[in-house]
């Protein structure tokens, strides 16, 4: 049935008897229901991701219409439109990504242009239906905002001729808008408490976002494959006319799968990311105005065990903290989360997940402990491309 859907939803356009282009359509729905010891105002703060469970009861996490296909022999394109219903019941429509990439450049080069997720780390470029847990990691919320780091721009990648898979990526994107939290975010987006947010215009190449990534993949054994990546971001922020933000990250992904397996099961997969943000601000309280660097750091680590065909058990730990010198900023207080879940995939077009979160967070200097239990359901109809390793 799934294959029939794919055939029906693949539209072919013929020019002079030859297939010139095609369009694959898919639609996915992601929903969650659950309970929490957090009341709803605090739940909305603690679950900082735009696609996280936002309230007790039911949340529409994501409704995604995707269109992908060949433009011509030289370009391939993707567009992803997102529909949501916020906790107040209002409908939201946004363009999440719309870009094209080259198909046949020489020397292992590829260009992407349009609006897209910044290729920083492993999780930021992923859409919510790919996540292994019901919510976005806390450190990603804090550094990249609820919708992830994305925006209009262009990026160049180079698949190097090394004996192992090694890819270098560099990109330039606009640094303004609500999806650029650590940079020139909109007025309503304030992640650093009482620090000033000035109106800053693009006047030079210092006022756009620069990104870079180096991704390597190895197979130390026939049954194990590992990815190691390092990423960097550099761009302006709104604390001053010349203040800058830099973000550094490292990510590791490793997967064990026996040579004899049943559609990829059993397996064990490990994933972790460590991120640090350095945000320049103006210290106006000093006798002489000077620059000061606000630091935020955090990590998450998770293990997935696919113990039986279609069944996956997951465990995750997260920790974030933020300091100015030795002084804590309550807006960026320490946070810790432990999570566990059990996911059942009836097919590649649906999943059902039970997810438990234990939260430890600071509220006006007091350490709070809260619990949340969520049930997530996803369906997908139409053409479904393979996920990246």
Poorest-pLDDT segment among 61-65, 269-273, 289-293: 289-293
**Whole-number pLDDT of residue 202:** 83
What is the mean pLDDT of the segment spanning 251-280? 97
Instruction: Give the range with max mean pLDDT: 15-19, 44-48, 367-371.
Output: 367-371
Which residue ranges make up each domain of the chain?
A: 30-58+67-334
Please check the confidence at residue 288 and state whether its pLDDT lies above 80: no
Mean pLDDT of 326-343: 80
Q: Is the pLDDT of residue 23 over 70?
A: yes
Q: State residue 282's pLDDT score.
A: 82
pLDDT above 80 for 323: no
- The rounded distance, in Å, linking the Cα atoms of 35 and 216 is 41
**Apex CA 310: angle with CA 308 and CA 313, to 5°?**
65
Question: What is the model's pTM?
Answer: 0.90
Which pLDDT does position 201 carry in this prediction? 83
The alpha carbon of residue 351 and the mean position of all alpha carbons in its chain are separated, in whole angstroms, by 20
In this prediction, residue 387 carries a pLDDT of: 60
How does residue 352 score in pLDDT terms, banded at 50, 70 and 90? very high
């Amino acid at each position: 049935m799934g294959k029939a859907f794919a055939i029906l939803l693949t539209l072919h356009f013929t020019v002079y008897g030859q297939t010139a282009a095609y369009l694959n359509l898919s639609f996915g729905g992601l929903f969650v229901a659950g309970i929490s010891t957090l009341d709803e105002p605090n739940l909305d703060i603690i679950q900082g991701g735009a696609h996280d469970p936002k309230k007790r009861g039911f949340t529409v996490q994501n409704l995604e219409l995707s269109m992908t296909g060949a433009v011509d022999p030289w370009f391939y394109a993707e567009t992803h439109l997102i529909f949501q219903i916020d906790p107040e019941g209002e409908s939201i429509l946004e363009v999440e990504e719309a870009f094209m990439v080259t198909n046949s450049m020489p020397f292992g080069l590829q260009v992407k242009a349009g609006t897209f997720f910044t290729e920083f780390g492993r999780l930021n470029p992923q859409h919510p239906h790919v996540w292994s847990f019901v919510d976005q990691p806390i450190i990603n919320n804090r550094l990249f905002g609820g919708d992830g780091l994305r925006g209009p721009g262009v990026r160049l990648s180079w698949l190097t001729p090394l004996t192992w898979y090694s890819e270098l990526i560099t990109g330039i994107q606009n640094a303004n808008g609500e999806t650029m939290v650590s940079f020139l975010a909109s007025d309503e987006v304030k992640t650093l408490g009482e620090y000033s947010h000035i109106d800053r215009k693009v006047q030079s190449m210092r006022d756009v976002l620069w990104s870079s990534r180096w991704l390597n993949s190895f197979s130390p054994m026939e049954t194990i494959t590992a990815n190691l990546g390092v990423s960097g971001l550099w761009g302006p922020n709104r604390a001053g006319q010349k203040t800058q933000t830099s973000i550094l990250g490292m990510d590791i992904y490793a997967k064990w799968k026996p040579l004899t397996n049943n559609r990829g099961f059993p397996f064990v997969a490990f994933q972790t990311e460590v991120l640090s943000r350095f945000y320049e601000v103006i210290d106006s309280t000093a006798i002489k105005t000077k620059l000061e660097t606000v630091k935020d750091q955090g990590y998450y680590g998770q293990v997935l065990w696919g113990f039986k065909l279609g069944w996956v058990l997951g465990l995750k730990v997260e920790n974030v903290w933020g300091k100015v010198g030795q002084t804590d900023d309550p807006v960026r207080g320490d946070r810790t989360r432990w999570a566990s879940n059990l996911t059942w995939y009836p097919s590649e077009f649906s999943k059902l997940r039970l997810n438990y979160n234990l939260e430890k967070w600071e509220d006006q200097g007091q350490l709070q402990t809260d619990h949340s239990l969520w049930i997530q359901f996803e369906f997908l109809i139409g053409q479904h491309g393979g996920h990246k390793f």
